Amino acid sequence: MKFTKRLLPLLLALTLLTGCGKKADDTPSEQTPSPEAPQTAAPIVTPEPTVAPEELNQSVLVSYAEESKDYRAEGSNDLLLCFRCRTPVVELPGLEKQAGSINNTLASMNERFRKGAEGSEGDGLQYLLSTAASDYGTRAAEGILENFTPYAYERDASVVRGDGTVLSILFSNYVNSGGAHGGTSWSAVSFDPETGNELKLVDLTDDPEGLRSICVAEIRTQCDQMKDLLFDDYPSHVEELFTDGLWYLNDSGMVFIANEYHLAPYAAGTLSFTVKYRAIKGVLHERYLLPSRSDVQGGIEAYRGSECSFSGEPELRIQTDEVGEEILLRSFNSVYNVRLFSVSYSEESGSFYQLSELAYLSSLRNGEYITLQSSIPDVIPNVQLSWRLPDGSTQKYLISQSGEDGSILLIEPNTVSRIQPGEVSEDAFYWDLDDDGNSECVSLNLDGVWKLSIDFSPEKTIATRFSGAKPKLFVADVDEDDCFELFLEGDNTLCCFRYTGELSPVSFILKGEPITELNATVLDTLDGLHLSCNIPLMGSKLPAQAVLRDGIAGSLALAYDSEWDFFTHGTLTLNREITCVSENGENAKMPYGAVITPVSMSDSTLRFTGENGFQATAELNQFT
DSSP 278: H
Q: Are 373 and 325 in contact (CB under 8 A)?
A: yes
The pairing of beta strand 503-505 with beta strand 325-332: unpaired
Per-residue pLDDT band for 33 (boundaries 50, 70, 90) equals very low
Residue 528 clears pLDDT 80, i.e. is over it: no
Per-residue pLDDT band for 419 (boundaries 50, 70, 90) equals very low
191: left (phi over 0), alpha (psi -120 to 50) or beta: beta
Least confident of 108-117, 137-146, 346-355, 582-591: 346-355
Residue 415 clears pLDDT 90, i.e. is over it: no
398: three-class secondary structure by DSSP? strand
The whole-chain average pLDDT of the chain stands at 75
Higher pLDDT, 576 or 235: 235
Residue 323: partners with Cβ closer than 8 Å, 6 or more residues away: 375
Kindly report, residue by residue over 183-222, the tens digit of the pLDDT: 889 999 999 999 999 999 999 999 999 999 999 999 999 8
The stretch 499-528 carries a mean pLDDT of 58
The stretch 322-336 carries a mean pLDDT of 88
Higher pLDDT, 583 or 459: 583
Residue 289 clears pLDDT 60, i.e. is over it: yes
Q: What is the pLDDT of residue 515?
A: 54
Higher pLDDT, 335 or 599: 335
Kindly report, residue by residue over 533-543, the tens digit of the pLDDT: 444 333 333 33
Residue 569: partners with Cβ closer than 8 Å, 6 or more residues away: 40, 41, 225, 507
Residue 7 clears pLDDT 60, i.e. is over it: no
Kindly report, residue by residue over 397-414, the tens digit of the pLDDT: 889 887 667 788 888 775
3-state secondary structure 436-492: CCCCEEEEEEEECEEEEEECCCHHHEEECCCCCCCCEEEEECCCCCCCCEEEEEECC
Say what the pTM is: 0.62
Higher pLDDT, 387 or 573: 387
Q: Are 399 and 383 in contact (CB under 8 A)?
A: yes
Q: How many helices (DSSP H) and strands (DSSP E) are in the chain? A: 4, 41
Q: What is the pLDDT of residue 501?
A: 77
Higher pLDDT, 522 or 555: 522
d(CA 502, CA 460): 5
Per-residue pLDDT band for 600 (boundaries 50, 70, 90) equals low
Per-residue pLDDT band for 553 (boundaries 50, 70, 90) equals very low
CA angle (571 as vertex; 548, 594 as ends), nearest 5: 130
Nearest to 39 by CA among 604, 584, 599, 575: 575
Residue 421 clears pLDDT 60, i.e. is over it: no
Residue 560 clears pLDDT 50, i.e. is over it: no
Alpha carbon 40 to its chain's center:
17
Q: How far is the first Cα of the chain from the last one, in angstroms, to the nearest whole number?
A: 25
The stretch 306-320 carries a mean pLDDT of 87
The stretch 268-279 carries a mean pLDDT of 88
Spell out the alpha helix ranges (H) of 180-301. Answer: 208-224, 277-280
The stretch 303-310 carries a mean pLDDT of 86
Backbone angles phi, psi at 145, to 5 degrees: -65, -20
DSSP 287-324: GGSPPP---S--EEEEEEGGG---SS--S-EEES-SSP
Kindly report, residue by residue over 241-262, the tens digit of the pLDDT: 999 999 999 988 999 999 988 9
Least confident of 380-384, 573-577, 613-617: 573-577
Residue 566 clears pLDDT 50, i.e. is over it: no
User: What percent of the chain clears pLDDT 90, i.e. is strictly above it?
Assistant: 33
Kindly report, residue by residue over 51-80, the tens digit of the pLDDT: 343 445 789 999 999 999 999 998 888 999
Q: What is the pLDDT of residue 572?
A: 67
DSSP β-bridge partners for residue 597: 609
Q: Are 509 and 566 in contact (CB under 8 A)?
A: yes
d(CA 623, CA 208): 26
Task: Of 5-19, 157-171, 311-325, 561-575, give the range with the top mean pLDDT.
Answer: 157-171
Higher pLDDT, 236 or 568: 236
Kindly report, residue by residue over 82-122, the tens digit of the pLDDT: 999 999 999 999 999 999 999 999 999 999 998 886 545 56
Q: What is the pLDDT of residue 349?
A: 59
Q: Are 173 and 21 in contact (CB under 8 A)?
A: no
Kindly report, residue by residue over 485-501, the tens digit of the pLDDT: 787 777 666 777 878 77
User: What percent of the chain clears pLDDT 70, i.e. is strictly above it?
Assistant: 70
DSSP β-bridge partners for residue 411: 398
Based on the number of CB atoms within 10 Å of its own CB, is 439 exposed (0-12), middle (13-18) or buried (19 or more)? middle
The stretch 168-184 carries a mean pLDDT of 86
Residue 11 clears pLDDT 70, i.e. is over it: no
Q: At what angle do helices 96-115 and 125-142 cross, to 10 degrees?
A: 30
Backbone angles phi, psi at 132, to 5 degrees: -65, -40
118: three-class secondary structure by DSSP? coil
Cβ–Cβ contacts within 10 Å for residue 454, how many? 23
The stretch 608-612 carries a mean pLDDT of 80
Q: What is the pLDDT of residue 619?
A: 83
Q: What is the pLDDT of residue 584?
A: 85
Residue 442 clears pLDDT 60, i.e. is over it: yes
Q: What is the pLDDT of residue 180?
A: 65
Residue 127 clears pLDDT 70, i.e. is over it: yes
Higher pLDDT, 53 or 281: 281
